[in-house]
Structure 1
Amino acid sequence: MKAKTMIVMNQDIRTTNSEGEDYICITDIAKMKNPLEPKDVVKNWMRTRNTLEYLGLWEKLKNLRIAPQAFFTIQGT
């Protein structure tokens, strides 16, 4: 993995590239809202319906081994 840093709104945001895929550190982004407890921002974000729907779509596209109904059973829809 190759790590880099970009500056967004005066905040360092770490990025990595693994096997041609780019990833961004959501904890670094959360530090903009709550520098002392970014984990609380991430926990709240992970509970939203839009986030759950996005993760379900990502799983369908990237994880070919997941059963289509498995994510929706976990999500409760």
Structure 2
Amino acid sequence: GHTDRFVLLNNLANQLSTHFHRRGDDEDLDEGVVLQIETLTLCPVGHSVLPMALNNLAFQLFIRFTHQGIVTNLVQSNVRLI
């Protein structure tokens, strides 16, 4: 695959998050979370994108919690940041 695939996935996940905020489609938010997790699995340790990707995932999980009320999203958002 592409060596910077994780950067592209991070960008796509962010766009899906933006789309969710505009349209309110849960599928966009869910897909964004999936892509952020994939970003983290592909991102090399120590890469400059890693802290941003962790923050993005935590934020998207928090938004999913506030939108859907599923407590595990809130717990996951806190665990990912630790």
TM-score (norm 2): 0.29
Report which of the two has the higher share of strand: 1
Report which of the two has the higher share of helix: 2
Q: Which of 1 and 2 has higher RCO (CA within 8 Å, sep 6+)?
A: 2
Q: Which has the larger radius of gyration?
A: 1
TM-score (norm 1): 0.30
